[in-house]
Amino acid sequence: MRSDTALEPRAGWGLKIATGAGLLFLNFPVVVIILYTFTTETSAFTFPPPGLTFEWYGKLLAERPDFWRALGLSLQVAIAATTVAMILGSLIAFAVHRRSFFGKDVISLLVVLPIALPGIVTGIALRSSIVIFGVEFSIWTIMIGHATFCIVTVYNNVIARLRRTQHSQIEASMDLGASAFQTFRYVIFPNIATALLAGGLLAFALSFDEIIVTTFTAGQQQTLPIWIFNQLPRPRDRPVTNVAAVIVIAITFIPILLAYRFTNRVSET
Amino acid sequence: MTTAQQDSPVAIRFSGVSRHFGAVKAVDNVSMEIYDGEFYSMLGPSGSGKTTCLRMIAGFEQPSAGSIQLHGREVAGVPPFERDVNTVFQDYALFPHMTVGDNVGYGLMIRKVPKAERKRLVGEMLELVRLPGMHDRKPSQLSGGQRQRVALARALINRPSVLLLDEPLGALDLKLRQDMQIELKAIQQQVGITFIYVTHDQEEALTMSDRIAIFNHGRLEQVGSPTEVYERPATAFVAGFVGTSNLFTGESAKRISGNDHAFTVRPERIRIISTDQAAPSGARVGDGVIKDVIYLGMNTRFLVDLDGGDTVIVMQQNLDNSASFDSSTRGQRVRLIWPIDFERPVVLE
């Protein structure tokens, strides 16, 4: 492969500069956030920062239990929503992939709908339903709301993998004496495992930073994104908020990176 | 040879088996017996029902009517994993996430054969298919021919009473395919298992089989040894599908033989002589004009327009290099002769 790419014409300087500028434009705000977690100023963004300090990291760790509660709640919601999505998403994928039945296309469309619709619509729809059924707003309503759109990422990943899996493998396994359960355990599951994991990690990242739907489905609970949003009217807290944002970046980045690696490794073989 | 096999016990018996997919009769009232230790080919064009028959033996399809017996036991409703047969799939169906060794040992692992024993048997089996030391490779690192061997080893390791092969050489190039044909036959004789081999390649079927079953439109046209189906085709379809044949029907048959019973003659049984040469007694004679000459290396193929209007294919071996009939012979008047013994009466559709 290396020798092939060497033969292709190399990118010119103009293209390289343009690419660099594009990437800088995309990621500049993130750099700003990280930089201003260290500033000695509280409210204004002067450049360069007048001084550098770790004070805000200490302050967030020591003096803001509300942040830690919000972070904990977000993690709980994300883990629960991801688990539900992984189970339901892969089950739907199996059903849609293996069988042809009346309304199959409608089902695959309905699965994708919650994420295709604007979050504000999903949010208001969920809120109305929750009120109509007289359910009290709680961590559970947040989880259910998140699960509705997290299912999609798992479903899409798993069904794409199933379509790439030779069906004859399943017949071969049965032919060699494996029962349906053994075939699932030794053949189907290993085939879809990385897709399931990648879908789950994406679902986790989606849930973790979700704010629109959460606003409609949460009661008094504050998830991390809502906590950050509520920090905005308090200029003196801005560096502390920035530190919180950096923590969110770190937490979100890890699963996305892992998902990327898992899906790539499989397509190589 | 055939009689010897008919003394063997019956491995598989089809009695009036049909398989319908909606209005389509994929398999239509097929009855046949396959004997123990036989290399049995099911030959036919695509859509002729041969693969469906194979899948019914494996248990992936259920017959719509009729009965299938495996060593005397009715198998309707018996799932694939409870049948003493194994399959080599057309696309190999290797498990991509497992090593070659794990692929081959899969059946043993399912039957909970201890690890050490498993390893020994897998080693033996890889030896048999001439892939020693490939234990730790992944299927993606193998060539097509090697994958094919792994698929064969994986199926054979369970010592099934019957091995089903669904066009296993279809994806290989010609040279490799010819080598594998000889090797498959050798392996079959070595392990002594009944092989049921699905193919659309008549040459492949002739090369390897003890008996060939020829399928067309879901029906069984003829079953016989390679010599039988080639020398004495029962139907016009068999005559045309196994090798090449000149088919004479109705008026054409009447013009040549005096009655309108359909018959065929193989192209290599026909000789070309010049029109002033007398035909030997007991030979059929037909005069015509050479329409085309196709040089094929070992043979030359002639298309001759008989005076009655039929076009006849004649195949002549190129025994010397004088090239006595080159393209300049096009348009030349010739006499075709063949012994009456080589005419084969056939049943039309």
- What's the ipTM? 0.82
Same domain membership, residue A24 and residue A92: no
Query: Do A122 and A220 reside in the same domain of the chain?
Result: yes
Distance of CA B280 to the CA centre of its chain: 36
Same domain assignment for residues B193 and B236: yes
Tell whether A39 and A147 lie within a shared domain.
no
CB contact under 8 A, A172 and B95: yes
Please report the pLDDT score of residue A34 as a whole number. 86
Say if residues A205 and A252 touch (Cβ distance below 8 Å): yes
A5 part of a folded domain: no
Domain span at B12: 2-241
Give the model's pLDDT for residue B26. Answer: 93
**Is residue B149 located within the same domain as residue B273?**
no
Round to whole Å and give the CA distance between B245 and B269: 10
Q: Do B95 and A173 touch (CB under 8 A)?
A: yes
A147 and A234 housed in the same domain: yes
Please check whether residues B258 and B212 belong to one and the same domain: no
Report yes or no on A42 lying in a domain: yes
pLDDT of residue B323: 52
* Contact between B154 and A176 using a beta-carbon 8 Å cutoff: yes
**CATH code: domain of residue A108:** 1.10.3720.10
Could you tell me which chain B residue has the CA closest to the CA of A188?
Answer: B95
Domain boundary (B190, B218, B241) is at B241
- In terms of Cβ atoms closer than 10 Å to its own Cβ (0-12, 13-18, 19+), residue A141 is buried
Residues of B whose CB is below 8 A from A178: 81, 106, 110
Three-class SS of residue A220? coil
Residues A97 and A125 both lie in one domain: yes
Cβ atoms of residues B227 and B206 within 8 Å = no
| Six-digit token string for A241 | 């908020």
Residue B326: HSE in the Cβ half-sphere, 13 Å Cα cutoff: 5
Report the share of chain A in percent with pLDDT over 70: 93
Longest alpha-carbon distance in chain A: 73
Domain that holds residue A261: 64-268
Residue pLDDT, tens place only, B297-340 = 888 899 999 888 889 999 988 876 555 555 567 888 889 999 98
Together in a domain, A223 and A185: yes
B87 neighbourhood in chain A, CB within 8 Å: 171-172, 175
Same domain, B208 and B325: no
In this predicted model, what pLDDT tens digit does every residue of A61-114 receive, in sequence order? 888 888 889 999 999 999 999 999 999 999 999 988 887 778 888 888 888 888
* Nearest partner of B159 among B193, B111, B116, judged by Cα: B193
For residue A178, the distance in angstroms to the closest alpha carbon of chain B comes to 6
Q: What is the spatial distance between Cα B166 and Cα B90, in angstroms, rounded to a whole number?
A: 5
Q: How far out from the chain centre does Cα A171 lie? A: 35
- The residue type of B243 is G
Interval A187-231: pLDDT, tens: 999 999 989 988 998 899 889 888 899 989 888 888 988 998 888
Does residue A188 share a domain with residue A93?
A: yes
- Measure CB to CB from residue B93 to each of A166, A191, A269 and give the nearest one: A166
Amino acid at A139: I
What are all long-range contacts of B58-63, with beta carbons under 8 Å and residues at least 24 apart? B58/A171, B58/A175, B58/B83, B58/B85, B58/B87, B58/B164, B59/A174, B59/A175, B59/B83, B59/B85, B60/A171, B61/B19, B62/B19, B63/B17, B63/B18, B63/B19, B63/B27
In this structure, the answer to whether residues B194 and B332 fall within a common structural domain is: no
Domain boundary among B241, B263, B296: B241
Q: Are residues B122 and B138 in the same domain?
A: yes
What is the Cα–Cα distance from B120 to B255, expressed in whole angstroms? Answer: 68
Mean residue pLDDT of chain A comes to: 86
Is A2 a domain residue? no
Query: Which residue on chain A is closest to B79 by alpha carbon?
Result: A174
B214 plus B286 within the same structural domain: no
Q: How many domains does chain A have?
A: 2
Hey, are the CB atoms on B79 and A182 less than 8 Å from each other? no
> Are B219 and B257 contained in the same domain?
no
CATH of the domain at B298: 2.40.50.100
Q: What's the CATH code of the domain at B18?
A: 3.40.50.300
Strand partners, B300: B295, B316
Q: What does the pLDDT profile of chain B (349 residues) look like in tens digits?
A: 444 455 678 999 999 999 999 889 999 999 999 999 999 999 999 989 999 999 999 999 999 999 999 998 999 889 999 999 999 999 999 999 999 999 999 999 999 999 999 999 999 999 988 888 888 999 999 998 899 999 999 999 999 999 999 999 887 888 888 888 998 999 999 888 999 999 999 999 999 999 999 999 999 999 999 999 999 999 999 998 998 889 988 888 888 887 888 899 999 999 888 888 888 888 888 889 999 888 888 888 999 998 888 899 999 888 765 555 555 678 888 899 999 888 888 888 7
Amino acid identity for residue A4 in this structure = D
Question: Helices A65-98 and A189-208 meet at what angle, rounded to 10?
Answer: 140
Reported confidence tier of residue A267, pLDDT bands at 50, 70, 90: very low
The verdict on B297 and B235 lying in the same domain is no
B188 and B264 in a single domain? The answer is no
Return the pLDDT at B5: 52
How many contacts (CB atoms, under 8 Å) link A and B?
A: 66
> Are residues A169 and A225 both part of a single domain?
yes
Residues of B with CB under 8 A from a CB of A: 58-60, 79-81, 85-87, 89-91, 93-98, 106-107, 109-111, 138, 140, 154-155, 158
Residues A19, A132 share a domain: no
Clarify whether residues A104 and A163 are in a common domain: yes
Q: Could you tell me if B38 and B137 lie in one domain? A: yes
> In this complex, do B86 and A176 lie within 8 Å of one another by their Cβ atoms?
yes
In Å, how far are B44, B184, B242, B301 from B201, measured between CA atoms? 8, 15, 9, 21
A241 located within any domain: yes
Residues A233 and A157 in one domain: yes
Q: Bridge partners of B271?
A: B337
Asked if B199 and B292 sit in the same domain, the reply is: no
**Is the residue at A3 inside a domain?**
no
Residue of B59, B97, B158 lying closest to A176 (CB–CB): B158
Indicate the number of domains in chain B: 2
- The SS3 of residue A113 is helix
Show residues of chain B in contact with A182, CB under 8 Å. 110
Say yes or no: A191 and A223 in one domain. yes
